[in-house]
Amino acid sequence: MATKAKKALVDVAKLTRAQARVELTRLALELEGHDKRYYQDDAPSVTDAEYDALRQRYNAIEKRFPEFVTSDSPSQKVGAAPSGRFRKVRHSVPMLSLDNAFAEADVIDFVGRITRFLKLPDDKIDFSAEPKIDGLSMSLRYEGGELVTAATRGDGAEGEDVTANIRTLEDVPERLKGRNIPDICEVRGEVYMTKKAFLALNERQKAAGDTIFANPRNSAAGSLRQKDPTITASRPLGFFAYAWGEMSAMPEETQTGMIHWFERCGFKTNPLTRLCRSVEQLIAFHREIEEQRAELDYDIDGVVYKVDRIDWQERLGFVSRTPRWAIAHKFPAERAMTVLRDIEIQVGRTGSFTPVGKLEPVGVGGVIVQNVTLHNEDYIKGIGNKGEVLREGRDIRIGDTVVVQRAGDVIPQVVDVVIDKRPKNAKEFHFPKKCPCELHTDVVREETATGEEGSRARCSGEFACPYQKIEHLKLFVSRRAFDIDGLGEKQLQYFFDEGWVTEPADIFTLPKRNAKLKLEEIEGYGETSVRNLFAAIDSRRKISLERFIYALGMRHVGETTALALARGYGSWDAFHDACLKVTKGDEEAIAEMDALDQIGDTVIKSIADYFGESHNRGIVDRLTKELGEIVDAEKPKSNSAVAGKTVVFTGSLEKMTRDEAKATAERLGAKAAGSVSKKTDYVVAGPGAGSKLAEAQKHGVRVLTEDEWLKLIGE
């Protein structure tokens, strides 16, 4: 229904004046409600992208009919009025919002507007480019160097007095450090909660039966706006300084200069901030930060560009609620709402059932999502979803409007159900009692490692279940396993259905069987593709041990575990031998396996189960006979000079890619970290190194060139 309503919207250009007035009134009310839920209650009911879309439409209509602009129209307002739970504080300099850019063209326009305004060639403007921290903004007033008030943004003019709560934050100094501190300093910035702290807090909240927060922003806001400051003190909140309000004197002349000044005063500032000198550099910064987004330990929803020279900021000034000299370049939304059309059961390689939600297609974070994992039966019922992300108290029904989230490489999932939009005929989903493989095997509830009945269902048909066979073959040829070019899922399914390939070894015997099979005669195949396929197959007769172990498809043995096993045993013979012993219950072999990093009971049990089946031993034996060589894995050199050290790579490396450098470091027993801290041992800096290098110098961390690093590790 929601999609229909959207389609029915009249093109802004075609709206009559009367229609515009009606829609503006309706949108204003709707936005006001969202603002209240978001800013006052810390509990939004729509995604930011949906909210932004409403706002954009509002602005577009108002732009066409400027006669409807009033002083209380949403385009003139910031945030929401203080909640009344706290004393009010009037800001001496208003706290405003930022204009948004979504596309690169918007950034080009932004720079163009500024150059025209200042009458400058654009390469003359420096910008401070900063990550846009998704927290809540805060104004800290210092008089005579002492913290006197801390206030939230509120509606921009008046905020809430949260001084007592703010005093519990480690990142907020009570007293500014350094000499010549202006008498009045209002330091502004963002209070945020790390993703890790957010997850841990939700765990504790859940255990105590308290509110669960939807995201780190809400949990930071909720934790800060507490009546009892001791509760705030128990919540790990951070603060980054990046702006200022009233200043009795300006210590610096640029935005970046001010940021460094804040550091000298004792504040934390964001280490990714960078000075950019052109539109290209701004856009490159946006791209670079977006790539790092998932790895950062705090949420960001875009980057902010600010004209660096403060005198120019002042000349540029403001347009209603936003400065003309800054813009937020947002990242594509990673959450969206859509309708759940159906639920299907997918049978995995190990027989486990995964319910997959079929969605009305929707764009999330730049990709179109049509399928979501619904994890298991309990997740759908909204019970006991251990550590998963679905909002507490929600069950999922077919026909529901759901909130879909995509984070980094993770498979999209449903994080919330909009109960208000649940249609009367929404259907509850009944989990099947039989496997769709028609062996009519009963479904068993999988046991967890601790022996409790788990929440996953599986087909008990094991090796006779065709679903499981084909899924194993798919894994076997996949990019991270044998990576066989020209043998995609479609071809594989075809060969499987014809009975030509039913287990991995069959792939390697295809070339010699082709006199009979005549693959080149299959429609759409042709001689060249067959020749290419066979070449691809032959090139994989030599395979690394870790890939080989992963490709066997044992339960609980993913890539990382496979790598750990490969490194632990070094050769296929040693590993295979150990597996057989473990299967027989050989105590010594079990203890040896258990001693390996990352290997525990679950994996050992799974290996024993796998090799305990003669059918599996047959698969492995037939396969190894067809292969040329299983290449030994390198054992990590724990006596290397960098074992146990933490290293950060920054700038561009010339002799290897960053991924390769990290892998080498890890192979030598070092830890490759993403950001510099006191605990960092080395920073390896190549050309173009920026803030991380500065951080290293600040913490007195040893900085090496790429060559010095290579020498250190003896390569």
> Which of residues 24, 28, 89, 98 is near ligand NAD by CB under 6 A?
98
How buried is residue 485: exposed, middle or buried, by Cβ count under 10 Å (0-12/13-18/19+)?
middle
CB of 32 to ligand NAD, least distance (A): 10
- Chain Cα centroid distance, residue 667: 26
CB of 526 to ligand NAD, least distance (A): 52
Q: Answer yes or no: is 208 a known binding residue.
A: no
Select the span of 47-55, 371-379, 540-548, 638-646 touching ligand NAD (CB under 6 A): 47-55
The nearer residue to Zn ion, 464 or 591, going by C-beta atoms, is: 464
Angle at 422 between CA 421 and CA 426, to 5 degrees: 150
Q: Answer yes or no: is 698 a known binding residue.
A: no
Determine what percent of the chain falls in helix, strand and coil, rounding each to the nearest 5: 40, 20, 40
The nearer residue to ligand NAD, 31 or 473, going by C-beta atoms, is: 31
What gap in Å lies between CA 182 and CA 81, rounded to an integer?
A: 30
CB of 192 to ligand NAD, least distance (A): 9
What gap in Å lies between CA 569 and CA 627, rounded to an integer?
A: 19
Distances (CA, A) of 182 to 171, 251, 559, 568: 20, 8, 57, 61
- Phi-psi category of 331—alpha, beta or left, where left has phi over 0 and alpha has psi -120 to 50? beta
If one asks whether residue 130 binds ligand NAD (CB under 6 A), the answer comes out as yes
Other Cβ atoms less than 10 A from the Cβ of 506: the count is 18
The nearer residue to Zn ion, 503 or 546, going by C-beta atoms, is: 503
Instruction: Pick out residues in 293-322 that bind ligand NAD (CB under 6 A).
Output: 304
How buried is residue 151: exposed, middle or buried, by Cβ count under 10 Å (0-12/13-18/19+)?
buried
If one asks whether residue 706 binds ligand NAD (CB under 6 A), the answer comes out as no
CB of 435 to Zn ion, least distance (A): 3
If one asks whether residue 110 binds ligand NAD (CB under 6 A), the answer comes out as no
The nearer residue to Zn ion, 458 or 547, going by C-beta atoms, is: 458
Site string for ligand NAD, 49-78 (x = CB under 6 A): --xx-------------------------x
**Where does 249-299 have alpha helices with state H?**
255-265, 279-292
CB of 241 to Zn ion, least distance (A): 59
Site string for ligand NAD, 150-189 (x = CB under 6 A): ---x------------------------------------
Q: Answer yes or no: is 435 a known binding residue.
A: yes
The nearer residue to ligand NAD, 130 or 695, going by C-beta atoms, is: 130
Q: Strand 646-650 vs strand 682-685: parallel, antiparallel, or unpaired?
A: parallel
> Which of residues 49, 289, 459, 590 is near Zn ion by CB under 5 A?
459
* Strand intervals (E) in 348-477: 353-364, 367-373, 401-405, 413-417, 443-447, 453-459
Distances (CA, A) of 117 to 122, 275, 348, 458, 566: 11, 21, 60, 66, 63
Select the span of 14-22, 126-134, 141-149, 179-187 touching ligand NAD (CB under 6 A): 126-134
CB of 176 to ligand NAD, least distance (A): 20
Contacted entry of ligand NAD, Zn ion, none for residue 98, CB cut-off 5 to 8 Å set by kind: ligand NAD
To which residue do tokens 């022996």 refer? 451
Q: Helices 614-626 and 504-517 meet at what angle, rounded to 10?
A: 60
What gap in Å lies between CA 235 and CA 219, rounded to an integer?
A: 9
Q: Answer yes or no: is 183 a known binding residue.
A: no
**Residue-wise burial string across 391-407, b where 16 or more C-beta atoms lie within 10 A, e elsewhere:** eeebbbbbbbbbbbbbb
Are the beta carbons of 139 and 227 closer than 8 angstroms? no
Are the beta carbons of 414 and 372 closer than 8 angstroms? yes
> Which of residues 3, 97, 149, 705 is near ligand NAD by CB under 6 A?
97
If one asks whether residue 216 binds ligand NAD (CB under 6 A), the answer comes out as no
If one asks whether residue 35 binds ligand NAD (CB under 6 A), the answer comes out as yes
CA dihedral 262, 266, 267, 272 (to 10 degrees): 80
Are the beta carbons of 390 and 430 closer than 8 angstroms? no
What does the DSSP 8-state code read for residue 412? P
Residue type (1 letter), 361: P
Site string for ligand NAD, 236-265 (x = CB under 6 A): ------xx----------------------
Q: Answer yes or no: is 88 a known binding residue.
A: no
The nearer residue to Zn ion, 78 or 435, going by C-beta atoms, is: 435
Binding residues with ligand NAD: total (CB under 6 A): 23
| Token pair belonging to 477 | 């040829």
CB of 304 to ligand NAD, least distance (A): 4
Select the span of 75-83, 157-165, 459-467, 585-593 touching Zn ion (CB under 5 A): 459-467
CB of 114 to ligand NAD, least distance (A): 17
> Which of residues 20, 24, 28, 34 is near ligand NAD by CB under 6 A?
34
Are the beta carbons of 691 and 274 closer than 8 angstroms? yes
Select the span of 54-62, 150-158, 265-273, 463-471 touching Zn ion (CB under 5 A): 463-471
Choosing from 14, 63, 124, 132, the catalytic residue is: 132
| Token pair belonging to 367 | 């990709």
Q: Strand 300-307 vs strand 127-133: parallel, antiparallel, or unpaired?
A: antiparallel
Site string for Zn ion, 410-439 (x = CB under 5 A): -------------------------x-x--
As beta bridge partners, residue 88 has: 160
As beta bridge partners, residue 646 has: 671
CB of 438 to Zn ion, least distance (A): 8
What gap in Å lies between CA 180 and CA 77, rounded to an integer?
A: 36
CB of 466 to Zn ion, least distance (A): 7
Contacted entry of ligand NAD, Zn ion, none for residue 603, CB cut-off 5 to 8 Å set by kind: none
Contacted entry of Zn ion, ligand NAD, none for residue 35, CB cut-off 5 to 8 Å set by kind: ligand NAD
- Spatial neighbors of 562 by CB under 8 A, at least 6 apart, are 546, 547, 549, 550
Q: Is-catalytic flag, 433?
A: no
Q: What number of H helices and E strands is found in the chain?
A: 25, 26
Q: Answer yes or no: is 242 a known binding residue.
A: no
Contacted entry of ligand NAD, Zn ion, none for residue 465, CB cut-off 5 to 8 Å set by kind: Zn ion
Catalytic residue numbers read 132
Site for Zn ion, rule CB under 5 A: 435, 437, 459, 461, 465
Site for ligand NAD, rule CB under 6 A: 34-35, 37-38, 44, 46, 48, 51-52, 78-79, 97-98, 130, 132-133, 137, 153, 190, 242-243, 304, 328
Residues making up the annotated binding site for NAD(+) are 48-52, 97-98, 130, 153, 190, 306, 330
Residues making up the annotated binding site for Zn(2+) are 435, 437, 465
